[in-house]
Amino acid sequence: MKHFRPTSPFHRWPVGVAFCLPLIAGLAMFTAFPVGMSLYYSLCSYPIFSPPRLIGLRNYQELAGDPRFWLSVWNTFYYAMVAVPLGMVVGLLLALLLNLKIKGLAFYRTLFFLPTVVPLVASCVLWNQILNPQQGLINEFLRFLGLPAAWLPGWLTSVTWSKPALILMSLWGCGGGMVLYLAALQDVPQELYEAAALDGARAWHRLRHVALPMISPVLLFTLIMGLIGAVQIFAQAFIMTNGGPADSTLFYSLKLFNTAFTEYRLGYASAMAWVMFVLILLATLGVMKLSNRFVYYHS
């Protein structure tokens, strides 16, 4: 006679599937189905009020020759390439300072982290005024330092300074990374530093050859998450500049949103979404491949 063991995998699969039903339904309805449809739409001409009509790769061809598309790619690339590494450096700097076993660690950690919980819309409204060229906090401070009026940046009103302005604003939120780096630094065994010190390593070398390698997995993780987040930057541009001046803050997501919901060109916007997906995948894979040489996994 055959015995069914109560824990046999085959016996229990209906239970497992039943518990996972929300996930299975969610993946089917809100991921698999829309991803498939998006690919299909990207091959269609789809003005929202009439049904989609297949046009092959014409959307992608049009993208290749659309100067505003390339401008949005450049703007996004500029923002991500500067904001993410700079945010990591400042976050790491804060973490290293806090790791010196100074008084009031909890206080500083809370304070540096606080900006990251401020609702994005509220911080956009706030920074819109902080960056105001006439009365904003930053230019008033620069004026106080004695900078002549002609040198004061126009920030969000200037084609040159609009992206640096948003990068500056993003630095205010570097506390999220700081918390992670600090936690990782605190996990580095003290003996490693002592051993290095005995070998005559100075502070810089201890940082370069002990601390950084030990926290490199966390650095890689924040780099990838930061890049994925930066590439999708939207609300700041939508609320503060609406892409201007002269399209200098027309980021990829903003262009995609406008194409879909103000021009109602859903097929073209879907093609943009797919190009973005491929670019994010390539960037992630590229970073992972590069990281093999720098990241040290200790287990």
Partner 1 sequence: MRSLIRKHRLWKTTIAQAALLALALVFCAPFIWMLSTSLKTPDHIQSDSTDPIPKAWFLDYHGQRVRVRPLRRRRGRLEAQIRSGPYRGRTLLVRPGRIHNGVYLDWRNYKKGFEEFPFLRYLWNTLVICGLSVLGTVLSCSLVAYGLACVEWSGREALFWVMLCTMMIPGQVTMIPLFILFKNLGWINTILPLVVPTFLGNAFFIFLLRQFYRTIPPSLLEAARIDGGGDLRIWARIILPLSKPALLIVALFTFINSWNDFLNPLIYLLNDRKYTLSIGLTMFQGQYNSDWGPMMAMSLIMSLPIIILFFLTQKTFIQGVKLTGVKG
Footprint (CB under 8 A) of partner 1, residues 115-144:
115-130, 135-137, 140-141, 144
**Site membership for partner 1, residue 146 (CB under 8 A):** no
Residues 51-80 binding partner 1 (CB under 8 A) are: none
Per rule CB under 8 A, is residue 179 in the interface with partner 1?
A: yes
CB of 15 to partner 1, least distance (A): 5
Site for partner 1 in 12-51 (CB under 8 A): 12-13, 15-20, 22-27, 29-31, 33-35, 37-38, 41
Site for partner 1 contains 256 (CB under 8 A): yes
Among 7, 190, 262, 299, binds partner 1 (CB under 8 A): 7
- Check binding of 239 to partner 1 (CB under 8 A): yes
Site membership for partner 1, residue 221 (CB under 8 A)? yes
What number of chain residues touch partner 1 (CB under 8 A)? 97
Name the one range near partner 1 by CB under 8 A: 72-80, 91-99, 151-159, 206-214: 91-99
Task: Indicate which single residue of 58, 78, 234, 283 sits in contact with partner 1 (rule: CB under 8 A).
Answer: 234
CB of 75 to partner 1, least distance (A): 16
Is 89 a binder of partner 1 (CB under 8 A)? no
Q: Cβ closer to partner 1: 92 or 94?
A: 94
Least distance CB 182 / partner 1 (angstroms): 9
For the chain, give the secondary structure using H, E and C.
CCCCCCCCHHHHHHHHHHHHHHHHHHHHHHHHHHHHHHHHHCCEECECCCCCEECCCHHHHHHHCCHHHHHHHHHHHHHHHHHHHHHHHHHHHHHHHHCCCCCCHHHHHHHHHHHHHCCHHHHHHHHHHHCCCCCCHHHHHHHHCCCCHHHCCCHHHCCCCHHHHHHHHHHCCCHHHHHHHHHHHHHCCHHHHHHHHHCCCCHHHHHHHHHHHHHHHHHHHHHHHHHHHHHCCCHHHHHHHCCCCCCCCCCHHHHHHHHHHCCCEHHHHHHHHHHHHHHHHHHHHHHHHHHCCCCCCCC
Minimum distance between the CB of residue 78 and partner 1, rounded to whole angstroms? Answer: 19
d(CA 253, CA 28): 25
Q: Is residue 261 part of the contact set for partner 1 (CB under 8 A)?
A: yes
